Amino acid sequence: MTTTVRRARPDDATTLGAIHVRSWQRGYDGLLPADVLADLDPVARGQWWAQLLQAQDGTPDDTPGPVTHVAERGGAVVGFVGTGPVRGSDHGESASTAELFLYVDPEAWRGGVGRELMATATARLTRAGYTDAMLWVLEGNARAIGFYEATGWEHDGVRRVEVIPGVTAAELGYRRQLG
């Protein structure tokens, strides 16, 4: 099945909220407490996405600002990637370092959607003038780590502890050069 990648629109927010929650619930099963995963609210996450996408609306792809793209299959959104400036300053990033996050609906895992989103994200960041990019992955998330390493990312040795919906969890930093 063909994957089409396009800019996310504010009317995608509800779908992104649902995908975000489903991907966490499946991908973090066994890594985060079951009750925390069960309590994730796709409506609340959709509202968060509505605000984010509204703020991004009109941001050109070739500028450093935050931008989200979605992947569609058969007219349905099945994943998304957010790109832009690094959020925070965990380990000495410069203005030429971007950050990204990528989630795919579990029903579309291992079907090439993540690779399409990653290709779009890295091309977009290069056009925007970034020279390298970083991302965070939940420690122990072997599926995601395998994907990132297969697409050219390397663990940079940085580990941080974050509070992720009310639970403390470790994340690993990954980087790759762009262009």
DSSP per residue, 36-51: HHHT--HHHHHHHHHH
Residue 177 has pLDDT above 80, yes or no: yes
Q: How far apart are CA 118 and CA 140, in angstroms?
A: 21
pLDDT of residue 1: 75
* Whole-structure pTM value: 0.94
Q: How far apart are CA 102 and CA 144, in angstroms?
A: 10
User: Is 107 in a helix, a strand, or coil?
Assistant: helix
Q: How far apart are CA 109 and CA 115, in angstroms?
A: 10
Q: pLDDT grade, residue 62 (50/70/90)?
A: confident
114-153 pLDDT, tens per residue?
A: 999 999 999 999 999 999 999 999 999 999 999 999 999 9
The secondary structure of residue 82, as a DSSP letter, is E
Q: Which domains does the chain have, with CATH numbers?
A: 3-130 (3.40.630.30)
77-112 pLDDT, tens per residue?
A: 999 999 999 876 655 567 889 999 999 999 999 999
Q: How far apart are CA 102 and CA 127, in angstroms?
A: 19
Name the H helices within 34-128: 34-38, 42-56, 113-127
Q: Do residues 81 and 118 touch, judged by C-beta distance below 8 A?
A: yes
Residue 17 has pLDDT above 80, yes or no: yes
- Give me 132's structure tokens: 């390298």
pLDDT of residue 93: 62
21-61 pLDDT, tens per residue?
A: 999 999 999 999 999 999 999 999 999 999 999 999 888 88
pLDDT of residue 57: 86
